[in-house]
């Protein structure tokens, strides 16, 4: 049933993570703090279930009217003197950014944390144009210095210990080694201040935009996004095209839930509303404001009524913080900036369902993700939709049948379960052959391929000599 692990990075990276006790500890600690924090925080809202359903409706309503809302948002921003670029793909978004940077002689960029810029590979593209890019979120800064990618959507350096950060800062920032978090944070702050003041351009993401008022909203806990968007001459914000709502009152609901879901707090440190460049009556802000609205595969999801629900996501990462699988395998196994349950759905859709099939098949469907999602996305249902495509192929998504052997197994299975006589015969035959399997304490110790994975680590109870139905029938006959 399984291919060689060499062709399955999800499995090989997962195995590596499972064998890393430091990472295991970090992931358990993360879930303990953030996952439980979120669930506790929801209890402070009266009837949080209905509140989250309302949030779902707000998001679905926006998704269903996306064309109208984006047009309205763009018009408003342009009215305020901003520029809007609709990027059909990653290349268009990146090229636009490079063009604007070059035209303005930009040498140095500071960035607020943004997953969509990770998705489009913005940093490496800018660096290859000899433009210096500095991540200013502490976690992002750490992994940038280390030359690594994020392993969590909001806690990107969760895989790093403070000792590792101490050694990294000592090497890269030239400070004496320490593993004292306040000292390390102060060192990062000092280094980043210089970057902020020297930057010609600030790049940020966008947590949510508002069509009614024509602004984008960014949320941070370190204040770095606000500095990135106000200090440099130019501010360029990137947003996935789904990240818009109709009305400002929608933000009140969603920003009540977002910090609760993300960090278990009822409010974030900073919420910034940006609607364009500095106006004549503003004391600060950029001279130029650009908003890049990115499609990059989202229209295709939008067109599929069974899947568009995933576009409700506000990237709070709460699903990562409760997922039993993410807890063990960490972020890198998902091979994309989007990891955990959300990554298991969105990455195959954005990058190819067949290529990333292990992501959507490698989840237990336990439902903890759905239970915590602030916008009530039915993630298990979406995983099942993807599995359906993989099982029988789906030309609309260019998906081919992933495993013809497994298909054959289930076709045979569907014949067996159709007729109790045949089913009983199957049980009886299996019962006969299981006698040849090695046992320990009356349980089966080793199964033949393709089921051997089960008995690599655990035993399996044998089939009973007589099924309950057979026994029931026998007892009925005997009165």
Q: C-beta of 467: minimal distance to another protein in Å?
A: 5
Using CB under 8 A, pick the residue from 162, 384, 429, 448 that binds another protein: 384
With CB under 8 A as the rule, give the number of residues binding another protein. Answer: 65
Among 410, 425, 432, 448, binds another protein (CB under 8 A): 410
Can residue 451 be called a binding residue for another protein (CB under 8 A)?
yes
Relative to beta strand 208-210, strand 244-245 is parallel
Site for another protein in 315-354 (CB under 8 A): 324-325, 327-329
CB of 418 to another protein, least distance (A): 6
- 173 touches another protein by CB under 8 A: no
Interatomic CA distance for residues 96 and 263, integer angstroms: 34
Q: Is 406 in the site for another protein (CB under 8 A)?
A: yes
Q: Which is nearer to another protein, 58 or 375 (CB)?
A: 375
432 makes contact with another protein (CB under 8 A):
no
Single out the segment in contact with another protein by CB under 8 A; choices: 158-166, 196-204, 211-219, 419-427: 419-427
Return the structure tokens found at 464: 């009973």
Which letter, b or e, does each residue of 219-256 get, where b requires 16 or more Cβ atoms within 10 Å of its Cβ? Answer: bbbbebbbbbbbbbbbbbbbbbbbbbbbbeebbebbbe
Of the pair 140, 358, the CB lying nearest another protein is at: 358
DSSP classification of residue 323:
-
8 Å CB contact between 430 and 463: yes
Nearer to another protein, 197 or 413 (CB): 413
Report whether 71 contacts 62 (CB < 8 A). Answer: no
Shortest approach of another protein to residue 425 CB, angstroms? 12
When binding is defined by CB under 8 A, the residue of 190, 417, 425, 433 that contacts another protein is 417
366 binding another protein? (CB under 8 A): yes
Sole binder of another protein in the list 78, 416, 437, 446 (CB under 8 A)? 416
Task: Provide CB contacts within 8 A for 87, sequence distance 6+.
Answer: 93, 96, 292, 293, 294, 295, 296
Q: Indicate whether 186 belongs to the interface with another protein (CB under 8 A).
A: no
If one asks whether residue 428 binds another protein (CB under 8 A), the answer comes out as no
In angstroms, what is the minimal distance from the CB of 241 to another protein?
A: 28
Among 248, 367, 437, 446, binds another protein (CB under 8 A): 367
Q: Is residue 389 within the footprint of another protein (CB under 8 A)?
A: yes
Q: How far is CA 469 from CA 227, 419, 463, 472, 473, in A?
A: 70, 13, 13, 5, 6
Identity of the residue, 186 or 408, whose beta carbon is nearer to another protein in the bound complex: 408
Contacts 24+ apart (CB under 8 A), 384-391: 385/306, 385/307, 386/345, 386/348, 386/349, 386/353, 386/357, 386/360, 387/360, 387/361, 389/353, 390/353, 390/354, 390/357, 390/360, 390/361
DSSP 73-141: HHHHHHHTT-EEEEESSHHHHHHHHHHHHHHTT--EEEE---HHHHHTTHHHHHHTTT-EEEE-SHHHH
Does the footprint of another protein cover residue 56 (CB under 8 A)?
A: no
Q: Answer yes or no whether residue 441 interacts with another protein by CB under 8 A.
A: yes
Residue 299 engages another protein in binding (rule: CB under 8 A): no
Residue 201 to residue 101: CA distance in whole angstroms: 8
Residue 468 interacts with another protein (CB under 8 A): yes or no = yes
Least separation in angstroms between CB 184 and another protein: 30
Q: What is the dihedral of CA 115, 117, 119, 125, to 10 degrees?
A: -150
Length of the chain: 479
- Give the binding range for another protein (CB under 8 A) out of 8-16, 152-160, 241-249, 250-258: 8-16
Q: How far is the CB of 321 from another protein (least distance, A)?
A: 12
**What's the closest the beta carbon of residue 365 comes to another protein, in angstroms?**
6
Smallest separation, CB 111 to another protein (Å): 33
Phi, psi of 216 (to 5 degrees): -110, 150
Instruction: Count CB-CB contacts under 10 A for residue 452.
Output: 12
Q: Which of residues 9-48 bind another protein (CB under 8 A)?
A: 11, 14-15, 18
Q: Does the footprint of another protein cover residue 365 (CB under 8 A)?
A: yes
Using the rule CB under 8 A, is 164 a contact of another protein? no
Rg for the chain, CA atoms, rounded: 26
Nearer to another protein, 103 or 441 (CB): 441
Q: Which stretches of 264-374 are DSSP H helices? A: 298-302, 324-329, 340-351, 357-361, 368-372
In terms of CB distance, is 24 or 80 closer to another protein?
24
Q: Which of 449, 425, 426 is nearest to 437 (CA)?
A: 449
Angle at 87 between CA 86 and CA 93, to 5 degrees: 125
Footprint of another protein (CB under 8 A): 1-2, 11, 14-15, 18, 324-325, 327-329, 358, 361-368, 370-371, 384, 386-392, 406-407, 410-411, 413-414, 416-418, 420, 423, 427, 440-441, 443, 450-451, 453-454, 456-464, 466-469, 471-473
């Amino acid at each position: 049933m399984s291919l060689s692990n060499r062709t399955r990075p999800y499995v090989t990276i997962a195995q590596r993570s499972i064998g890393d006790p430091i990472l295991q500890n970090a992931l358990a600690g993360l879930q303990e703090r953030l996952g439980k924090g979120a669930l506790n925080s929801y209890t402070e809202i009266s009837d949080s279930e209905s509140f989250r359903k309302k949030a779902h409706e707000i998001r679905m309503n926006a998704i269903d009217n996306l064309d109208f809302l984006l047009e309205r948002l763009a018009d408003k921003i342009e009215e305020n003197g901003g520029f809007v670029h609709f990027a059909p793909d990653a290349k268009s978004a990146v090229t636009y950014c490079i063009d604007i940077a070059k035209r303005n002689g930009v040498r140095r960029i500071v960035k607020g944390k943004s997953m969509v810029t990770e998705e489009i590979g913005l940093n490496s593209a800018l660096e290859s144009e000899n433009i210096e890019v500095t991540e200013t979120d502490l976690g992002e800064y750490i992994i940038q210095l280390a030359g690594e990618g994020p392993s969590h959507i909001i806690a990107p350096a969760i895989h790093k210990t403070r000792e590792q950060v101490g050694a990294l800062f000592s090497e890269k920032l030239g400070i004496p080694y320490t593993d004292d978090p306040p000292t390390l944070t102060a060192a990062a702050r000092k280094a980043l201040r210089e970057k902020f003041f020297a930057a010609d351009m600030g790049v940020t993401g966008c947590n949510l935009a508002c069509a009614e008022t024509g602004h984008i909203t960014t949320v941070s806990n370190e204040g770095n996004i606000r500095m990135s968007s106000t200090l440099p001459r130019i501010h360029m914000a990137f947003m996935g095209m789904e990240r818009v709502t109709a009305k400002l009152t929608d933000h009140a609901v969603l920003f009540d839930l977002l910090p609760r879901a993300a960090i278990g707090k009822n409010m974030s440190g900073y919420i910034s509303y940006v609607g364009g460049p500095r106006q004549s009556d503003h004391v600060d802000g950029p001279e130029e404001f650009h908003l890049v609205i990115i499609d990059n595969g989202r229209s295709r999801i939008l067109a599929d009524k069974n899947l568009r629900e995933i576009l409700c996501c506000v990237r709070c990462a709460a699903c990562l913080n409760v997922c039993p699988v993410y807890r063990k395998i960490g972020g890198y196994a998902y091979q994309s900036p989007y990891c955990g349950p959300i990554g298991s759905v969105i990455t195959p859709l954005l990058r190819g369902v067949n290529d990333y099939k292990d992501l959507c098949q490698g989840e237990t469907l336990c439902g903890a993700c759905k239970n915590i999602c602030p916008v009530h996305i039915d993630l298990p249902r979406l995983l099942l939709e993807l599995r359906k495509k993989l099982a029988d192929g789906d030309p609309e998504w260019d998906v081919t049948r992933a495993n013809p052997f497994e298909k054959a197994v289930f076709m045979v299975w569907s014949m067996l379960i159709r007729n109790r006589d045949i089913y009983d015969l199957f049980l009886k035959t299996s019962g006969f052959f299981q006698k040849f399997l090695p046992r320990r304490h009356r349980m089966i110790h080793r199964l033949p391929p393709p089921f051997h994975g089960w008995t690599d680590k655990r035993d399996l109870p044998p089939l009973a000599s007589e099924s309950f139905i057979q026994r029931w029938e026998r007892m009925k006959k005997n009165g």
